[in-house]
Every structure is written in structure tokens, then in C-alpha cells.
Amino acid sequence: MVVVRCSVPACTFATDDVSEALAVALLANHGLAHQSRTKPAAPIRAPGLPGPALDRPRVDVGMSIEEWNVFTRRWDLFRAGSDRGDAQVPFQLFQCAGPELGDSLLKANPDAATGPVETLLAAMRSLR
């Protein structure tokens, strides 16, 4: 049984006291959180034909870092596939927040959905 800690500076991830094989698998999975994300390519569609409606990814308080990373990947896919204008993106992102997170965002900043997407993502991450 071993406990393995992430070697990335300032990361506090550590496995529980588990078998060596499981610790290696958990650390490999956690390592995905530190890889740089690239924006997915926009899907190619025939002009003038709307694509199918996409479900927004959901985020709320109490999420682990791994769940947050999955959310951000799903958000990137939603953003690329929904073909929304830049002005609509912050509103769409805000609507991904669950009730508790959305309320917390509005209490901290009543204009949360009108600023830059990066600022809103950072606020969501800090309150999750």
C-alpha cells in the first residue's frame, strides 16, 4: 500500500493508501487535469441549416477538480457546437451553473454574466 502525491508544484492531490497499481492509475488519471486544453475545432455544417439542440454542461458547488476539468472540456465542446455569438457566450456559461452556484455568483457579482468568459470561469471555479 502506498500514498502517491502529485509532483506539480502547488497541487495538493494525493492518493489514498491504496495498492501500487491503483495509485499509478489514479495519478495517471489526475495528470490529465494538468495537461493544456486546446479548443475543439468547430463542426462543419451546411450553411443555413441549424444543428441539433445541445444540452449545456452542468456545474455546481462541491465538485472535485476532476469533475471541474470534465465540465470545462464539455463547456468547450458546447461552445464550439452551439454556434453562439460572442455576446451570448457569458450568458450561456452562466446558465450552466446549478442553483447554488448561480446564486453565489450573483451575490458576489450581480453583473457576473455580462463580463468576460474567462472572469466568469475563474469565479465559477473558485466557488465550486
DSSP 44-72: P--TT------PPP-B-TT--HHHHHHHH
Average pLDDT in the chain: 86
Tens of pLDDT, residue by residue over 15-32, are: 888 888 887 888 788 777
Q: What angle (nearest 5°) sits at the alpha carbon of residue 25, between those of residues 19 and 29?
A: 140
* 83/57 Cα distance (integer angstroms): 15
Does the pLDDT of residue 44 top 80, yes or no?
A: no
* 120/98 Cα distance (integer angstroms): 14
Does the pLDDT of residue 126 top 80, yes or no?
A: yes
Size (the chain), residues: 128
pTM score > 0.95 for this model?
A: no
Q: What are phi and psi of 56, to 5 degrees?
A: -70, 140
Q: For residue 84, give the DSSP letter.
A: -
Q: Which of 34, 33, 67, 36 is nearest to 96 (CA)?
A: 67
Mean pLDDT of 92-99: 95
Mean pLDDT of 85-97: 92
Q: Which of 49, 11, 17, 47 is nearest to 30 (CA)?
A: 11
Residue 38 pLDDT level (bands cut at 50, 70, 90): low
If DSSP codes are grouped into helix, strand and coil, which group holds residue 2?
Answer: strand
The reported pLDDT for the residue numbered 96 is: 96
Mean pLDDT of 24-51: 69
Mean pLDDT of 25-54: 70
